[in-house]
């Protein structure tokens, strides 16, 4: 082929379950007033950062397997789970409550008043601790952290689609406000908010 030539590729096969899920995934910003089940939340969190092998590797690739990401579930309407913010522990596949109460309206305000965020039964905030990556990779480790956020977020959204849920990635928010709201420790920074729920 010369530089001026083009090649039409074979048609993609869309019969597989993963291909169909990818085809159906769309950003969702209107949610039904229906709670999520705890099982659904477990599957969403596992898809983003769960342990997927006996040696501790996770569902999303991570530069040097250093795993700088932290997931925070902001739960408002999750059956069997009191409203509040929870830190996900991949090793235990469990949750630890950090802040009590329904933080969804405050999270929506921190996200530049995107009020629809408060309508989602839950949101997952992906935060990161860059110093887990930078000792090995220097400043380039910051780039690897951002790449990993994309992998984790897409995993979560594909799992949501497979569960007949929907969501989207929100990047417009006041970092310091979200950090205070979730009581993140020093050195941990919020990078993305993913509200999730049933389509309206």
What are the distances in angstroms from CA 193 to CA 20, 40, 140? 25, 18, 23
Residue at 167 is within a domain: yes
Six token digits for residue 147: 């790449």
Give the domain range for residue 84.
Answer: 47-197
More confident residue, 126 or 11: 126
Residue at 137 is within a domain: yes
The number of folded domains in the chain is 1
pLDDT at 51: 98
Residue at 63 is within a domain: yes
Residue at 59 is within a domain: yes
End-to-end CA distance of the chain: 50
Place of tokens 């935060």: 127
Residue at 141 is within a domain: yes
* pTM of the model as a whole: 0.94
Q: What is the mean pLDDT of residues 63-78?
A: 98
Q: In this structure, what CATH number is given to the domain that contains residue 160?
A: 3.40.109.10
Residue from 41, 27, 19, 17 nearest 157 by CA: 27
pLDDT tens, residue by residue, 140-176: 999 999 999 999 999 999 999 999 999 999 999 999 9
Evaluate the CA torsion angle 100, 104, 109, 111 in order and state its sign: positive
**Torsion angles phi and psi, residue 176, rounded to 5:** -65, -40
Six token digits for residue 184: 């993140």
């Amino acid at each position: 082929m010369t530089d001026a030539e083009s090649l039409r590729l074979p048609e993609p096969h869309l019969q597989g379950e993963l291909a169909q899920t990818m085809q159906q995934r769309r950003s969702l910003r209107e949610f039904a007033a229906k709670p999520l089940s705890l099982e659904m939340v477990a599957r969403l969190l596992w898809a983003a950062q769960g342990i997927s092998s006996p040696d501790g590797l996770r569902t999303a690739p991570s530069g040097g397997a250093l795993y700088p990401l932290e997931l925070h579930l902001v739960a408002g309407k999750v059956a069997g789970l009191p409203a509040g913010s929870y830190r996900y522990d991949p090793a235990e596949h469990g949750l630890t409550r950090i802040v009590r109460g329904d933080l969804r309206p405050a999270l929506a305000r921190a996200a530049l008043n995107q009020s629809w965020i408060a309508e989602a039964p839950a949101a997952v905030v992906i935060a990161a601790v860059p110093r887990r990556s930078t000792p090995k990779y220097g400043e380039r480790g910051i780039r690897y952290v951002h790449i990993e956020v994309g992998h984790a977020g897409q995993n979560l959204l594909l799992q949501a689609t497979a569960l007949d849920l929907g969501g989207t990635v929100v990047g417009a928010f006041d970092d310091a406000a979200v950090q205070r709201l979730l009581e993140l420790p020093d050195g941990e920074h919020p990078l993305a908010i993913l509200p999730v729920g049933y389509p309206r």
